[in-house]
Amino acid sequence: MVKAVYIDPEGAQEELEVPEGWSLMQAAISNGIDGIEGECGGSCCCATCHVYVDEAYLDKLDPMSDTENGLLDNTVSERRANSRLACQIKANAALDGIVIRTPEAQS
């Protein structure tokens, strides 16, 4: 299991134990985390799981695909240097303790 901390725009946080191989979107949806919609079910085609990843973990993530990069250009909330789609972040030992923040809005 991988610890992931989700922080909403008001600063409230929730810590989850995420099975390795699960996406952070899948874990959020399964545990009722507000701020992550995942309308496409994790197929990287809607950008409603946009999150801001703590900078300490950015270099531990898999490289961003062209599809994810394009979707992030069209998110409702501001795209930042640490923006990623939670459906594309798979839990693994290197990400243990990862902190992600949800944006103000997804859709």
pTM equals 0.95
pLDDT tens digits, one per residue of 4-50: 999 999 999 999 999 999 999 999 999 999 999 999 999 999 999 99
pLDDT tens digits, one per residue of 36-47: 999 999 999 999
- The pLDDT, as a whole number, for residue 58 is 97
Q: Residue 14 gets which letter from DSSP?
A: E
The distance between the two most distant Cα atoms of the chain, rounded to a whole number of Å, is 32
User: What number of residues does the chain have?
Assistant: 107
Determine the residue type at 42.
G
The DSSP code sequence of 56-89 is: GGGGGSPPPPHHHHHHHTT-SSPP-TTEEEGGG-
Burial class (CB in 10 A: 0-12, 13-18, 19+), 40: middle
- The pLDDT, as a whole number, for residue 107 is 73
Average pLDDT over the chain, rounded to whole? Answer: 96
Cα separation, 77 vs 87, whole angstroms:
17
Cα separation, 93 vs 2, whole angstroms:
6
- The pLDDT, as a whole number, for residue 1 is 96
